[in-house]
Amino acid sequence: MVERIVSAIHPLSGETLVEIGPGLGALTAPLLERVDQLHVIEIDRDIVATLRQRFAPDRLIIHQGDVLEFDLATLGSGLRVIGNLPYNISTPILFHLTALAHMIKDAHFMLQREVVERMAAPPGSAAYGRLSVMLQYRWDIEPLFDVSPSAFTPQPKVWSSVVRMAPYPALPHPCRDEAVFAEVVALAFGQRRKTLRNALRTRISEAEIVDLGIDPGARGETLGVAEFVGIADYLSAARR
């Protein structure tokens, strides 16, 4: 399974690879067989000490600290990011990296399978939600393959999936104000059973929603990225 993941990443010499949470090096070692140098971000001091004993410092560059506080800009652009992300903080990490997508060439993550399903879910599906919209606005998301609990020691109770994320060179549906876009999406999914007329009533009227060609009786889970951008752009223009 490790070889399958490394093959999916297909690292090449000269690329800047950044591994989040390398742990004891299950992916780190085979990655270093293919590249001259690898950056890793690890918060655990004991793990950092082990990695420093195991790998040469000129080949494995260790950044000790929290990935949510680490400035990826210090590593340049065209980054290839890799990680078996901790399930309890995977969503904050994904949002953190989304804000830095312009510096990233692609990202390969292993996550809980349900999280990957949410990331790639189409409008109208049960898994589609705020995470889907916010990530699909900026990334082309491709689930690659599932990973059985038996691939881990100790075995978790859930299946995992490996996903590839590549930022769009040009956004398919760019919005005027991404903060307004994020606000609209958050409101639409704040209470999933609410219709748009109720979920967005503090921001836009029912008549205005109709003017945008959107059914005010629909729920947020039925709208695609383009429809959310349309609402956000209307609000941005109105505020100006």
Domain co-membership, 78 together with 128: yes
Please check whether residue 173 lies inside any domain of the structure. Answer: no
71: CATH = 3.40.50.150
- Least Cα distance to 165 among 140, 144, 129, 147 occurs for 140
Domain co-membership, 8 together with 42: yes
Domain co-membership, 41 together with 124: yes
Domain co-membership, 83 together with 10: yes
Q: Can you give the pLDDT at residue 87?
A: 81
Q: 78 in the Ramachandran plot: left (φ > 0), alpha (ψ -120 to 50) or beta? A: left
Full-model pTM: 0.94
Domain co-membership, 86 together with 200: no
55 pLDDT exceeds 90? yes
> Percentages helix, strand, coil for the chain, rounded to the nearest 5?
45, 20, 35
Q: Which residue, of 137, 167, 197, is where some domain finishes?
A: 167
DSSP per-residue codes, 132-169: HHHHHHHEEEEEEEEE-GGGSSSPPSS-EEEEEEEE-S
Domain co-membership, 54 together with 142: yes
Please check whether residue 143 lies inside any domain of the structure. Answer: yes
CA distance 204 to 152: 49
The β-bridge partners of 107 are: 81, 165
Domain co-membership, 61 together with 88: yes
Could you read off the pLDDT of 150-186 as tens digits, one per residue?
A: 988 888 889 999 999 999 999 999 999 999 999 999 9
240 pLDDT exceeds 90? no
Which range of residues forms the domain containing residue 204?
Answer: 178-239
Q: Can you give the pLDDT at residue 155?
A: 87
Band (pLDDT 50/70/90 cuts) for residue 216 is: very high
Could you read off the pLDDT of 73-91 as tens digits, one per residue?
A: 999 999 999 999 988 899 9
Domain co-membership, 191 together with 103: no
The percentage of residues in the chain with a pLDDT greater than 90, rounded to a whole number, is: 92
Please check whether residue 204 lies inside any domain of the structure. Answer: yes
Structure-token match 């082990």, residue found = 50
The percentage of residues in the chain with a pLDDT greater than 70, rounded to a whole number, is: 100
Domain co-membership, 147 together with 185: no
**Mean pLDDT over the full length of the chain:** 95
Structure-token match 């591994």, residue found = 19
131 pLDDT exceeds 80? yes
Q: Can you give the pLDDT at residue 198?
A: 96
Q: Which residue, of 143, 167, 191, is where some domain finishes?
A: 167
Q: Can you give the pLDDT at residue 154?
A: 85
Domain co-membership, 87 together with 49: yes
Mean pLDDT of 40-68: 96
Please check whether residue 192 lies inside any domain of the structure. Answer: yes
When divided into structural domains, the chain yields a total of 2
Please check whether residue 229 lies inside any domain of the structure. Answer: yes
Please check whether residue 95 lies inside any domain of the structure. Answer: yes
Report the SS3 class of residue 236.
helix
DSSP class of residue 22 equals -
Band (pLDDT 50/70/90 cuts) for residue 145 is: very high
Kind plus residue range of the DSSP H or E element containing 51: helix 45-54
109 pLDDT exceeds 80? yes
Domain co-membership, 153 together with 182: no
219: CATH = 1.10.8.100
